[in-house]
Structure 1
Amino acid sequence: MTLGALAVALALAAGYFAGTRQTGHPAASPAADASPATAGTGTGGKKILYYRNPMGLPDTSPVPKKDSMGMDYIPVYEGEDAGPDDTGAVTVSPARLQTLGVRTALAEPRTLDEPVRAVGRVAINERRVVDVAPRFEGWIERLHVNASGDPVRRGQALFSVYSPELVSAGSELQIAERLQRDASSDPAAAASAQRLAEATRARVSNWQMKLPEGTKAGSGRLTFTSPANGIVMEKKAVEGMRFMPGDALFRIADLSTVWVLADVYERDLARVKPGQHATVTLDAFPGRSFDAAVAYLYPTLDAATRTTPIRLELANPDGLLRPGLFAHAEVDTGKATPVLTVPASALIDSGERQVVLVAQDEGRFLPKAVKVGRRGSDHIEILDGIAAGERVVVSANFLIDAESNLRTALASFTAGKDDAAATAKAYAAEGTLDAIDLSTNSASITHGEIPALKWPPMTMDFNLASPDVVKGVAPGSAIRFEFEERAPGEFAITRITPSTAAGHKGH
């Protein structure tokens, strides 16, 4: 593990331990556990073995103390001192579990929903839009529907028109019918009159106007009606205006069903297919959802956004879904086969590793590396690393993982120190104990020459292997001391005894 990773782990653990002390819970307050009256027993009756450095440094104390930053040392209770190991296992007391709010859940098989999320907008169902466009020239004499947005029913009057072409067609039809009656004794004339009448009726039919048998030309006036139920989306008709053949005077849309046009990223296109169920939510109606179905995937892709639009169809019986509303869509693309999953909150993903914390007996938590598969809305598929039925931590897992990383780091760090200690060289010298600083666990000593280290006589500070080393020795005393090099440039005194020898001769 690199020094950078160790530093991050130490910082995380420091925040974790500091946070637990601030909760006010007795189990999380080292100062309370370590009161002078109960220095050897915790509030739960457990024996306190020692106190450890709150920053995770390899420094312990048999009595309560503070580090150089003023932080209380953490009590270690009997049964909790498993020591750091390379598995990163963490043991948390029941009181601290309650304080942290640790919750667990089972890793179990389930059908994983794997939605594709997209955003879009509500649009008119283009298959239910009709235009009212006369096929002849005329003038609008009267409007029966006067505004856009008005609801209309099939057969409801929209506007009345006057057209000279209608007058002409009516006159021709009247003439043809009269000739047909007058030429009843002349078969040839009667046939000609019949052909004229049929031609007139065909012309009127091409205008999509119906003139029943025996209709009279009248004044050439006609009322247009709505061809469908719906809403008037556009109205260009104005009383008195002249219109030409093909002018769309009204546009009517049936909004009983609408579309949602959503943009799907190209990486998700392979998972989306027509017929899949989808759920649509809208900002306009928080807390409500609408069922839809994938109707079509458009064949083009937007090169700028790398998305392809898809069309969702959904019912709109209450008329709540207005064209233009912003919509969120989730397309269900999950498989029906159950797979092993854990809650999404159980996964700790650093980008380089994926870990879950497995709860074991007696408050012990073991981090396990896992291989993840598909990700659903609330659960994640686990391909390898844990088995069904194991219980994983789903809350406060980042705090436990921080201490686990620290334990692992200390295990490798301490292992290196233990190996070095096995081959560490011991030295002895004589001198004068100038001062003792138990807050930093150090002592200042003026010593004589130490040939083994090629040290001249001088005054220097040494670390103390334990505060017990200086018990019974007062500053200013002549001493003989033994020390060892535990790391390059780091010397710790392991023993001090009073000396009656005159002078400070090194050995």
Structure 2
Amino acid sequence: MTTSRLIGTAAALVAAAGLALFAGSLMPPNDDPILSAANAADAPAPLYYQDPDGKPLYSPTPKKTDDGRDYVAVPAPSDASEQPATMSAAEHKRDRKIKYYRNPMGLPDTSPVPKKDSMGMDYIPVYDGDDSDDGSVKLSPGKIQRSGVKSEPAELRRLRMLVRAPGTIQLDERRISVIAMRAESFVQKVADVTTGSRVSKGQPLMEIYSPAVSSAAAEYLATITSKTTAGIEPYGRGSRQRLVNLDVPEPVITEMEKSHSVPITIPWSSPRDGIVLQRSAIDGMRAQPGDILFRIADISLVWATIDVAERDLGGIAVGQPVTVRARSYPGRDFKGRISVIYPQLNKETRTARLRIELANADLALLPDMYVDAEIDTGTPTPVLSVAESAVLDTGSRQAVLVDKGQGRFEPREVKLGRRGDGYVEIRDGLAEGDAIVTSANFLIDAESNLKAALKGLAEGGNAMGGKP
């Protein structure tokens, strides 16, 4: 029984071996030269060759190790059209052709094959389409999102540039009057008017007795009432002019002509509406010629004298509107215009003085009151402008990054103008509607500068007949 079982097992093994040989005779041999050539033609060309032990050793051409073994060929990725529609971004990047590898630290060093730097960091691959001849730089959507890149169009805006400066309220020099005697006089009586009183034009201030005025008045009356000289105009005109020269008020002269009498005392009245700034007249006092007895000022219109920095003078002109705020009246604005720009600078403070006329109907603004002025020196009409954060300033050149779409950004040199409200005027280099990067532009600029350096190095190597 045992012998027959062994014979059956041996027969089964022989039958299986025969079946395997028969199947092998139906398949073409592996060393068929025609099939091997066809497979080699269909296989993609190797991108580079790598050490068979996986060491970071590469070669652009076939190579052998020191012990005679061949480097392993690393094939180039197939076309994107053969990839599935749902492949990831990393797979799509592997599908693109690598042009060269750049230094991970941004140094001007490239390599045609994978490489490590002195610190063991892998060189970064640069793919087709990552750089262009127009100087632009392209970023992936993920990098744009992580960097927080934002863009806004260049638009026409009216830029507001406020120049702020302190100042004080001063009297209008044209609205100040003084009352002084032109001949020796005596103050008989002073009206109930004190310093700070508000007076109107023609209001009596005091009564004056002056021997010189009385003598001139008597002479004038004698001239106009004499039968001999009454009809001779030059005589009367000369006598009257003497009273005018002594500053006798016109109403007093008119009254003497009507009454034909010389008053003992002359009533002196206010020459204008205003505030009494000074009263020196005292009952019974003697006033010498030139002594100021009253000083009266009209403060319904005052000046604000403002000191502005020298650097702000270029945008200031006569006639510009000004807003003045008094520290005594928070929240209230006084509107005025620049009337005078004084023609000298303070060499110690490097400031220039402006004069602003302000209406003061309610007499709220008082002389020597502190005020703060705001002068709008902005552009009168809208100008093409971008955000100040969009400008990359190297000192001698200014540039912005234009968002070309699809992750591509182009640096463009511009010429700047005025600034205000966080925007800067663009005088040349952009058109209305151009999308300009306003945030994270320094990161894009760093990427662009690195790309430009690598490109310049590559062009230099090609000019010398070598590879980048």
TM-score, length-scaled by structure 1:
0.51
Q: Tell me which of 256, 259, 271 is aligned to 1:214.
A: 259
Asked whether the equivalents of residues 84 and 408 of structure 1 are also in contact (C-alpha less than 8 Å), the reply is no
2:293 partner letter: L
**Per-residue deviation at 1:204?**
3.5
CA distance in 2, matches of 1:197, 1:413: 100
**Per-residue deviation at 1:115?**
7.1
Structure 1 position 160 matched with structure 2 position 206: yes
SS at match of 1:249: strand
Q: What whole-Å deviation, never above 9, does each CA across 1:301-320 have from its counterpart, x for those lacking one?
A: 55555555443333233434
SS at match of 1:296: strand
CA distance in 1, matches of 2:182, 2:197: 24
Structure 1 position 385 matched with structure 2 position 385: no
Q: Tell me which of 248, 255, 258 is aligned to 2:302.
A: 258
Instruction: Check 1:214–1:310 CA distance in 2 against 1; reply closer, same or farther (3 A cut).
Output: same
Structure 1 position 145 matched with structure 2 position 193: yes
Instruction: Check 1:241–1:191 CA distance in 2 against 1; reply closer, same or farther (3 A cut).
Output: closer
2:198 partner letter: P
Q: Tell me which of 412, 419, 433 is aligned to 1:368.
A: 412
Alignment of 1:403-414 (within 5 A): 403-411=443-451
SS at match of 2:244: helix
Give the share of equivalent positions with the same residue, in percent. 31
CA distance in 1, matches of 2:404, 2:326: 44
Asked whether the equivalents of residues 384 and 432 of structure 2 are also in contact (C-alpha less than 8 Å), the reply is yes
Alignment of 1:58-457 (within 5 A): 87-88=136-137, 104-110=151-157, 120-136=167-183, 137-139=185-187, 141-147=189-195, 149-157=196-204, 159-165=205-211, 168-169=214-215, 172=218, 176=222, 187-188=227-228, 202-206=241-245, 207-209=247-249, 210-211=252-253, 212=255, 213-214=258-259, 216-217=261-262, 220-263=264-307, 273-274=317-318, 276-282=319-325, 284=327, 289-304=333-348, 308-324=352-368, 325-330=370-375, 332=377, 334=379, 336=381, 339-361=383-405, 366-376=410-420, 379-394=423-438, 397=439, 400-411=440-451
Asked whether the equivalents of residues 322 and 335 of structure 2 are also in contact (C-alpha less than 8 Å), the reply is yes
Instruction: Check 1:346–1:288 CA distance in 2 against 1; reply closer, same or farther (3 A cut).
Output: farther
Q: Over aligned residue pairs, what C-alpha RMSD do you find? A: 5.1
**Per-residue deviation at 1:300?**
4.2
Asked whether the equivalents of residues 84 and 407 of structure 1 are also in contact (C-alpha less than 8 Å), the reply is no
**Unaligned ranges ≥5, structure 1:** 1-45, 51-55, 59-80, 423-507
CA distance in 2, matches of 1:301, 1:237: 40
Larger radius of gyration: 2
1:141 partner letter: K
CA distance in 2, matches of 1:232, 1:383: 56
Instruction: Check 1:287–1:369 CA distance in 2 against 1; reply closer, same or farther (3 A cut).
Output: farther
Asked whether the equivalents of residues 344 and 379 of structure 1 are also in contact (C-alpha less than 8 Å), the reply is yes
Q: What whole-Å deviation, never above 9, does each CA across 1:424-461 have from its counterpart, x for those lacking one?
A: xxxxxxxxxxxxxxxxxxxxxxxxxxxxxxxxxxxxxx
Q: Which residue of 2 aligns with 1:501?
A: none
CA distance in 2, matches of 1:350, 1:208: 74
**Per-residue deviation at 1:389?**
0.4
CA distance in 2, matches of 1:342, 1:315: 38
1:132 partner letter: I
How many pairs does the alignment contain? 337
CA distance in 2, matches of 1:281, 1:350: 38
Q: What whole-Å deviation, never above 9, does each CA across 1:244-271 have from its counterpart, x for those lacking one?
A: 2332222222222223334566677676
2:178 partner letter: D
Instruction: Check 1:251–1:105 CA distance in 2 against 1; reply closer, same or farther (3 A cut).
Output: farther
**Per-residue deviation at 1:370?**
1.9
Q: What whole-Å deviation, never above 9, does each CA across 1:168-206 have from its counterpart, x for those lacking one?
A: 4499479949x95xx8xxx55x86999998876554433
CA distance in 1, matches of 2:189, 2:284: 6
CA distance in 1, matches of 2:414, 2:261: 87
Q: Which residue of 2 aligns with 1:457?
A: none
CA distance in 2, matches of 1:241, 1:222: 15
Asked whether the equivalents of residues 94 and 363 of structure 1 are also in contact (C-alpha less than 8 Å), the reply is no
Asked whether the equivalents of residues 356 and 369 of structure 1 are also in contact (C-alpha less than 8 Å), the reply is yes
Asked whether the equivalents of residues 122 and 327 of structure 1 are also in contact (C-alpha less than 8 Å), the reply is no
2:323 partner letter: V
SS at match of 1:311: strand
SS at match of 2:174: helix
